[in-house]
Amino acid sequence: PADAAAVAMVMLPSMTRAGYPRPFSATLIAASASTAILIPPSVALILYSIVVPGVDLRALFAAGLFPGMLAGAALLVPAWWLARRYRWEAPENVERPPLAESFRQAIPALFAPILILGGLRSGLFTPTEAAVVAVAYGVVVGLWLTRELGWRDLWELFGEAAVISGVVMLIIALAGIFAWAGTMLGTFRHLAEWVIALSDNGTLLLVMIMLAVLVAGMLLDAISIYLILMPILIPVMQHFDWNPVWFGILLAMNIAIGQFTPPVAVNLMVTTEVARVRLEQTIGWAMVFVLAMAVALALVVVFPGIALWLPGVLGYNV
């Protein structure tokens, strides 16, 4: 949702000037923002590596790259086709900034993921330390390189980060109590046995789980879904011998779809508020992008190598 809000504030005015309808623009931005859950460094994947024992976070980060790119391409194709069909294009008098200058200005931002992933890959720092390095790098760039941050802005950002962290930690604490109670009472074990008993066909059961996670993604955030559902899904995953890295990416892709699927779509609610359009105006466009992302998800289901090839090449434990 934060990605959706930040991008919408910048892109919506430009897309509107270029002739794109506001409901379409709001939907496209909401759908695109949902792919952030797959691209490192992903908070959801970090949490998944904590909840599921024995999963290498570096393998998860590497596994999310190609599915994330595939999800982005899946959204790009219908967006391009619709723009051509309805002749949405920028007026000729719109001045475009020079490509070389724009790229030069973007270099500090583009270097951030290189710094994070390079440090993780080389073993220079842990995922937790990578977060500290990323924040420190952003502060240095904002204060002294681009000078877009002031000391007063930094203080406000610290306050906002404290509030967000407090909310996340409260969710984790309550979910931890929920997980402890469910484990001690045997509820999760009974639920897992019930799920396994539904079908001996692993493929059919996987489809059913994906549909359930999709519905959960329409109602909850990724952190809550992982903390609530994983105690139930881990025994199922182990029973059918599903690769935990591949399964984690499938869950992330499914949650991403749920974040812009009406009637309850967190990302879509954010972008429609920015665009000042009603949620019901975006339903038709949302279904187009849901279908496109579902195709990308199906490809990762059928061809696990899309997710597992890169971590295997890098020598991570998959």
Q: What is the pLDDT of residues 127-151, one digit of tens each?
A: 778 888 988 998 999 899 888 888 8
Note the pLDDT tens digit of each residue in 76-134: 999 999 999 988 876 556 677 788 888 888 898 888 888 887 887 788 887 778 888 98
What whole-number distance in Å separates Cα of residue 208 and Cα of residue 214? 10
What mean pLDDT, rounded, does the chain reach? 86
Please indicate, yes or no, if residue 231 is contained in any of the structural domains.
yes
55 neighbors 48 (Cβ within 8 angstroms): yes
| DSSP symbols for 24-36 | HHHHHHHHHHHGG
Number of domains in the chain: 1
pLDDT of residue 51: 84
pLDDT of residue 151: 87
**Cα first-last separation, the chain:** 30
Please indicate, yes or no, if residue 250 is contained in any of the structural domains.
yes
Would you state the structure tokens that stand for residue 116, as one six-digit string?
A: 């994070």
State the Cα angle at 272 between 270 and 278, rounded to 5°: 135
Please indicate, yes or no, if residue 110 is contained in any of the structural domains.
no
Note the pLDDT tens digit of each residue in 175-202: 667 767 776 787 767 777 787 788 778 8
User: How confident is residue 229, by pLDDT bands cut at 50, 70 and 90?
Assistant: confident
| DSSP symbols for 283-302 | HHHHHHHHHHHHHHHHHHHH
Q: Which of 232, 227, 299 is nearest to 51 (CA)?
A: 227
pLDDT of residue 112: 86
Name residue 249's amino acid. Answer: I
pLDDT of residue 171: 63
Please indicate, yes or no, if residue 104 is contained in any of the structural domains.
no
Provide the greatest CA pair distance for the chain: 68
Please indicate, yes or no, if residue 72 is contained in any of the structural domains.
yes
Q: Which residues of 118-137 are buried (b: 16+ CB within 10 A; e: fewer)?
A: ebbeeeeeebeebeebbeeb
What whole-number distance in Å separates Cα of residue 226 and Cα of residue 237? 14
Residues near 103 by Cβ (< 8 Å), separated by ≥ 6? none
Determine phi and psi for 139, rounding to 5 degrees.
-65, -45
25 neighbors 11 (Cβ within 8 angstroms): yes
Please indicate, yes or no, if residue 161 is contained in any of the structural domains.
no
274 burial class (0-12, 13-18, 19+ CB within 10 angstroms)? buried
pLDDT of residue 90: 60
Could you tell me the residue range of the domain that residue 248 belongs to?
A: 2-96+171-313
Note the pLDDT tens digit of each residue in 46-65: 888 888 888 988 899 899 99
Please indicate, yes or no, if residue 136 is contained in any of the structural domains.
no
Please indicate, yes or no, if residue 272 is contained in any of the structural domains.
yes
Would you state the structure tokens that stand for residue 292, as one six-digit string?
A: 């496109």
Among 15-19, 40-44, 69-73, which range has the highest average pLDDT?
A: 69-73
**Poorest-pLDDT segment among 77-86, 163-172, 250-259:** 163-172
pLDDT of residue 41: 74
What whole-number distance in Å separates Cα of residue 82 and Cα of residue 88? 8
